[in-house]
Structures are given as structure tokens and as C-alpha cells.
Amino acid sequence: MRAIVWTDYGPPDVLRLAEVEKPAPKDGEVLIRVCATTVTAGDCEIRQLKIPFLFRLPMRLYAGFLKPKRIRILGQELAGEVEEAGKGVRGFKKGDRVFGTTGTRFGAYAEYVCLPEKPDDGVLAIITAGMTCDEAAAAPAGGLEALHFLRKGGIGSGQKVLINGAGGSIGTFAVQLARYYGAEVTGVDSAGKLDMLRSIGADHVIDYAREDFTRNGEIYDVIFDVAGKSPLFRSIRSLTKNGRYLQANPRLSHIALWLWTSISSGRKVVIGGSSYRNDDLIFLRELIEAGNIRAVVDRRYPLEQVAEAHRYVESGQKKGSVVITVGHGDEKKG
């Protein structure tokens, strides 16, 4: 099968198209024929080890110290069709359309991937007729991250919510989910993304290059900093007395911020990663089917152009998700 192989830590050129052995499902696993995957900012950071310092050594020990060995194929989001179910699988059968995340297994940049029926750190669920392959591939990670943090922030009707970095895959879902829960939403991002943010329901938009939301006098019940670049202490001062600051990409300084705010005020800081649950993925699917939210797809690239897709994502221009369409070498046969 064709796959994009990760050959080294570094720029997008370390991703190469290659022929690799097609996997076979073990007991409790399903073999998925991938139709689409995505390139996220997280994929780019992992590729070049541009991750918080404390996580770099563990990542090298996990993936390969000098170069990737244990993990040879990146990609964490996917949509596809079950081609074969291993022994003991009860929830899926051949022909089922599915979507989900691979977790720390990665492996989605390929024509086929094997996943457990019940992944330890990923999720997998049925796609119903109302979702296209591209939409399904673009939904899991961004949607689940946004849902996790907004729930942690106690999102509710009538609240004022600001989302910094609203134009990416997490941010676009956060805007729509906050609106679904009845909040008044302000989206912050670059000028080229503001019209898109309005189109998905943002009540107010701010071009971060022209206005600092921490200095405009506005106060919010929740600030969700997806980008991780807002001035920390000024952001806290832009919250209501019992406001919540949510941070999806924490740094060491955020630990000190958490301690400071817990001692000095009633404001709450939520940091750290999220855990994915199948029930939440099904909930997102139902919202998409009902037309309450949608996956925003900026661009589509074929599998052989994954490196180019990484370059585009790293440019910071992407709106929502960048999808990789996976054409199969046997498609013209028969």
C-alpha cells in the first residue's frame, strides 16, 4: 500500500511517499480503508519536535531518539471504510463507514490502518449517511478538543465567550459549539479569517494584528486561548469575577498562572490535554447531522502532497481543517 513515511525530525521534506506492507488486523482490531485524513498544527509540531521542552525527550524515547523508528507514519484523524474485522470485534463489520482518531498510534497518512475496536487513546465511530468522507475526517480531533474545554469551562446560555485562535480546526468548532450552547461569541484571529468566523456564527470578530482584546475594556465569562499566545495576566484581568480561562496549549508559565489565580481570585484556569470518548464523538456526529455545527474544510490535497499540505498549515493561513484525500492504487481495477 502507499503511505507517507516519516524519515526524520525536521521540515516537511522528511515526509516521503513510499510503498509499505499493508497491515492485517489482530484480534479486537479492524482494518480500515482510509478515504481521508487531515494535517493539523499538532502534526506539524510533532514532525519537527516543536513541542514544549519537557515533552521532547519523552517523544524521542517513544518515537525514536535520533530519528523516528517506532512511529513511521504520522496522521491522527481519519475517515474510511472497514475492510476487515478481526476476531472478537462486535461493534463494526466489513463495509461500515467509520471516522475517528488513531491517538499515539498515528498511522493515518496511509491507504490502510488497523485500529482497535475500542482504542485506548483514540476514538472510532460509525459515519452515517449525512456526513461526507472529508467532513468526517475533519471533525474528530478539533471537535473533541473544543467540546472538552468548553465543558470544563462550564459554558452556558447568555455567557460572553472569547476564543483566541478561532480560525483553526479547534477554534472553528469552539465557535460553533459555544453558539450552540447559547453563548455570545467573540472570535480572535487574523484578518483573512474573520469573514469565515462570521459565517459560522461568531457574534463579534477581532483582528489580533489591529486590536489587543486584553486592552479594549471588554470582560468575558470564558476566554478559550486555543493559540496559546494571549498575554496571560492581562487575559485573566479580562475575565469576570468568577470567569474561566481555558488553555489548550499550555506552557510551564501556565502552571504558575494556575497557582496564582487559585490563590488570588475566584477565577479558574483550565489547562492540559483532553481525553477522547466515543460518546462525545457520536454527540458531535449528531450535531453535524442536525446542521448545528459543521467541519470547516479549507483545502484538500492528495496523499502524495502531504508535505505541501504541512507547509501550508505551518504558514498559519489555514481556515479550519486541511484534508488529505487518499486515493487507492487499486481504484481503477475492476
Q: How many CB atoms lie within 10 A of CB 260?
A: 15
> Pick from 42, 52, 30: which is nearest to 77 by CA?
42
Over range 95-105, report the average pLDDT: 95
Q: What are the φ and ψ backbone dihedral angles of 324, each rounded to 5 degrees? A: -105, 120
* pLDDT at residue 329, rounded to an integer: 65
Among 110-114, 129-133, 174-178, 300-304, which stretch is predicted with the lowest mean pLDDT? 129-133
Which pLDDT tens digit goes with each residue over 153-203? 999 999 999 999 999 999 999 999 999 999 999 999 999 999 999 999 999
By the 8 A CB rule, do 123 and 144 touch? yes
> Pick from 222, 68, 81: which is nearest to 146 by CA?
222
Higher pLDDT, 268 or 238: 238
By the 8 A CB rule, do 243 and 224 touch? no
* pLDDT at residue 271, rounded to an integer: 72
> Pick from 86, 59, 81: which is nearest to 70 by CA?
59
334 pLDDT band, cuts 50/70/90, is very low
* pLDDT at residue 55, rounded to an integer: 75
CA distance 30 to 115: 6
Which pLDDT tens digit goes with each residue over 219-244? 999 999 998 777 777 888 899 988 99
Q: Output DSSP code: residue 30.
A: E
Q: Fold identical between 2-139+295-325 and 141-271?
A: no
* pLDDT at residue 333, rounded to an integer: 38
Q: What are the φ and ψ backbone dihedral angles of 50, each rounded to 5 degrees? A: -90, 70
Paired strand residues for 126:
98
Among 172-181, 272-281, 305-314, which stretch is predicted with the lowest mean pLDDT? 272-281
* pLDDT at residue 266, rounded to an integer: 62
User: 285 exposed, middle or buried (CB, 10 Å; 0-12, 13-18, 19+)?
Assistant: buried
Paired strand residues for 25:
none
Q: Output DSSP code: residue 106.
A: -
Over range 264-278, report the average pLDDT: 74
By the 8 A CB rule, do 107 and 127 touch? no
Q: Where are the domains of the chain?
A: 2-139+295-325, 141-271
Higher pLDDT, 54 or 10: 10
Q: How far is CA 270 from CA 107, 220, 221, 225, 259, in A?
A: 30, 15, 13, 10, 11
268 pLDDT band, cuts 50/70/90, is confident
Fold classification of 2-139+295-325 (topology level): Quinone Oxidoreductase; Chain A, domain 1 (3.90.180)
The three three-digit cell numbers of residue 239, written as one number: 475575565
Does domain 141-271 fall under CATH 3.40.50.720? My reply is yes
* pLDDT at residue 198, rounded to an integer: 98
Round the average pLDDT of the chain to a whole number and report it: 91
CA distance 149 to 273: 9
CA distance 301 to 305: 6
The three three-digit cell numbers of residue 296, written as one number: 470547516
* pLDDT at residue 71, rounded to an integer: 93
Q: Output DSSP code: residue 23.
A: P
CA distance 254 to 256: 5
Q: How many CB atoms lie within 10 A of CB 300?
A: 14
The three three-digit cell numbers of residue 173, written as one number: 468548532
The position carrying cell 473544543 is: 146
Which pLDDT tens digit goes with each residue over 24-48? 999 999 999 999 999 999 899 999 9
